Structure formats: structure tokens, C-alpha cells
Chains A and B, each alone.
Chain A
């Protein structure tokens, strides 16, 4: 089975930086996704990591360490619209996507 852990909630101030950690224990590994989900809406794609290292895309960056079973999503220059849930999802050896429970980020003015 898959075990994916991420914090339940985080709060940060507008303009600040927040780092959302995700640790995973899976039977095999074929990639890790981060999705954003606003309340009442569908998840939308943010990033995909399959090799170790940092992937940067505008204000969002995602990091992966396969040996440590660890990833983080970095949100810079936080805006009010970044208030959402952030979902870490791992493709295991069975090529099925398993999601963590999500981290709700609240951005305060």
C-alpha cells in the first residue's frame, strides 16, 4: 500500500513564502504530482517530479528526493488567491496515483 503524509493546515501572510512538505512510503515509485484545489472546485495540476531536484515554475517550485521519500512545494510571494488545498500524489510501482489528504493553506492579509 501507499502512505503519503502532509500537514493538515498551514497559515501564512500575503507576500510571504510557505513550504508544504510531503513524505511518502510506497511500493515502487514512478513520479510525484502536486495539485491545487480551491474549495468546491476540481483539483488542477501544479507540478510533476520524477527525478531528484528542484522544478521551478513561476512563483511555485517543487522539490523531490527519492532516496528520502520526500518532496516539498514552495509557494513564493503569496497572494490571497493561493488560499486553497494542496494535494501531494505519488505514482507507485503499480502505476496508480495515490493522494495524500491535502494541506489547506490560508493566506492572511
Chain B
């Protein structure tokens, strides 16, 4: 059982380019989340999905979009990357919702130049 996988592991991206970070889970969890982690700021919620077909905005949603076409996949898209989006991005999932334990993927380190 892989749990949660993320791709790519790391990426260097020119400002203005479009980028999709991929996240897949095989635990059949209903809820999925995207966080960014920056030094000194901790993890901040970007977007979430409580179940397939629904999404919601977190604390820092601007510049990001998500979709949840099925239970397993939850891609995060940066439509036009900016240097302030340089960060480590973690995808997570939980069985029913935020009161359940969240399991995190290995992260994607993104650098926008």
C-alpha cells in the first residue's frame, strides 16, 4: 500500500508558467487537502475537498486551483506561477474529514524563478 504519492518530487519553474502538482491516494479516503509549508510559518491550508466532486478554499487559496473528479486524485494547479509560490507543498488525506487523522504525502519542493 503506497498511501499518498505526490509528483513531481521537486521542480524549478519559470515565473508565469502553468504547473500542476499531482496527488494520488489509495486509502479510499473521502477528504483530501493541499498545504504549503514555509520556514517560520508552518503548514497553511490552500484548498480542501471533503468528498469527490466538492472543493473548498483554505487560508491561502489565491493563485491556486484544484479539482476532485474522483476519490483518489486531487491535483493542484498554479495557473501562472510567481516567486512567492516557492514552497514545499504537501498533499494529505483523511477518512471522513478534518477531525480524522490526516496522512501526508512526501511533498513537492517547488522553486519559482
Contact = CB atoms under 8 A, between A and B. Distances in A.
B42 A95 contact: no
A48 B105 contact: no
B75 interface: no
Interface string B30-63: 0001010000111111001000000000110000
A97 B90 contact: no
Interface stretch (B11-19, B65-73, B94-102): B94-102
Given A42-B104, A42-B106, A91 B99 contact: yes
A95 B97 CA distance: 8
B104 A43 contact: yes
Given A41-B106, A44-B104, A48-B101, A100 B42 contact: yes
A107 to B, nearest CB: 21
A50 B100 CA distance: 11
Q: How large is the interface on B (under 10, 10 to 19, 20 to 34, 35 or more residues)?
A: 20 to 34
A91 B35 CA distance: 15
Interface string A33-59: 100000001111100101000000000
A25 interface: no
A97 B94 CA distance: 12
Contact of B107 (A42, A44, A87): A42
22 contacts: A30-B99, A31-B99, A41-B106, A42-B105, A42-B106, A42-B107, A43-B104, A44-B104, A45-B103, A48-B101, A87-B43, A91-B98, A95-B98, A96-B45, A97-B45, A97-B98, A98-B59, A99-B35, A99-B44, A100-B42, A101-B40, A102-B42
Interface of A: 30-31, 33, 41-45, 48, 50, 87, 89, 91, 95-102
